Amino acid sequence: MSEYPTLQRFTKYLEVERNASKKTIEAYKRDITQFLIFCVKEWQTTPEKLDFHRIDRLIIRLWLGSLMQQKLAKSTLARKTASVRSFLKFCFKRGLTYHNPAQLLMVPKKDQLLPQTVLVEQIDEMMNSIETDTASGARDLAFLELLYSAGIRLSELVSLDLADLDLQQNRVKVFGKGSRERIIPFGIKAAEALKHYMTKRNDLISNKTGKSDVKALFLTDSGRRIYPRFIQRKVKNYLSGVSEISRKSPHVFRHSFATHLLEDGVAIQVIQRLLGHSRLDTTNIYTHVSSDMLTDVKSPLDTPSPQSVRSVAGKAIPKKRGRPKGSTAAKKKAATAKGGRR
């Protein structure tokens, strides 16, 4: 039971009405609890006697000042400020406070770090280096191809079940942030790797494989469902052989997926939907492009991607007016000729 019933009400609101993920709710809870503890200490009271009506702009500034003294990253400060602002807005709307002291509170601007990517040639070199004679090698190639070809998150990858994969339509169903479902197409190379892996998947099943593991798409060498640290180690190892980027994480494939599609002329709105972003400016950060470029990109239905064998994003979200005549044949011809990975 939380020491702050009001915070409990807020987290319930996030879960039920906002459909926030567990990670998001936990982050809000940590940030707001930290703020409320600061208020309790500053006013020399107890959590039970904390008067929310006393919360004003001054106490918020004092709290932010204490955070700045800790030399936290701007992104952390921005998140904590946004958490408290949302919480106090909730309190005001529900009549738990007389006013909203955070109404005009400005969220500190984050440092916008450019996402790190790898070149298409490096992707090719890495994928071609993986031996797939064993079940573990076939699995590694399959999940790496899927990470790049579909641009999915690490959390989405490890949560995949066998039922989420459609090898007839070459698409996968994932549940992203806020439990939002989306269906993403993937390219021929990923389909080939996944089909090969499926012929060897049973070799990974062992006496350690539990009932919940049986339905998992990807299994570890011991027969359990893959987990984030397992994938992170694998990715770091494989990327180290082809790239010198500092952050060798699974998210590099997501960044590369978005960047390469944009370079191929795929519309930014299509990339946004493939990535599962609710806001377009988030996609702009991932693809590190300026606003001036966004008006010049072509429709993915008009120009086939040079790496279309690895990705069928151009066919993922057709426009309402329908596919232009001859585009499907043109795409297939281009894909076969290029022999790329996406």
**Calpha distance 288→259 (Å, rounded):** 8
Contacts of residue 25, Cβ cutoff 8 Å, sequence gap at least 6: 11, 14, 15
* Residue 238 known to be catalytic: no
Query: Tokens standing for 335?
Result: 């894909």
* Residue 177 known to be catalytic: yes
* Residue 325 known to be catalytic: no
Q: Which of 4, 148, 238, 286 is catalytic?
A: 286
Residue 325, Cα to own-chain centre: how many angstroms? Answer: 35
Q: State the residue for tokens 């992170």.
A: 232
Q: Could you tell me whether strands 165-166 and 171-175 are parallel, antiparallel, or unpaired per DSSP bridges?
A: antiparallel
| Phi, psi values for residue 172, rounded to 5° | -135, 145
**Calpha distance 226→168 (Å, rounded):** 24
* Residue 23 known to be catalytic: no
Q: One-letter amino acid identity for 76?
A: T
Contacts of residue 166, Cβ cutoff 8 Å, sequence gap at least 6: 172, 173
Q: One-letter amino acid identity for 228?
A: P
Q: What's the alpha-carbon Rg for the chain, to the nearest Å? A: 24
* Residue 153 known to be catalytic: yes
Contacts of residue 84, Cβ cutoff 8 Å, sequence gap at least 6: 31, 32, 35, 60, 63, 102, 105
Q: Which of 80, 189, 224, 277 is catalytic?
A: 277
Q: Which of 177, 288, 315, 338 is catalytic?
A: 177
Handedness of CA 152, 153, 157, 160 (dihedral sign): negative
DSSP secondary structure string for all residues of 279-307: SHHHHHHHHT--HHHHTTPPPTTTS--TT
Handedness of CA 335, 340, 341, 342 (dihedral sign): negative
Query: Tokens standing for 286?
Result: 């991932």
Contact 172, 152 (CB under 8 A): yes
Q: Could you tell me whether strands 165-166 and 181-185 are parallel, antiparallel, or unpaired per DSSP bridges?
A: unpaired
* Residue 254 known to be catalytic: yes
Q: Which of 80, 201, 254, 342 is catalytic?
A: 254
- Give catalytic residue positions: 153, 177, 251, 254, 277, 286
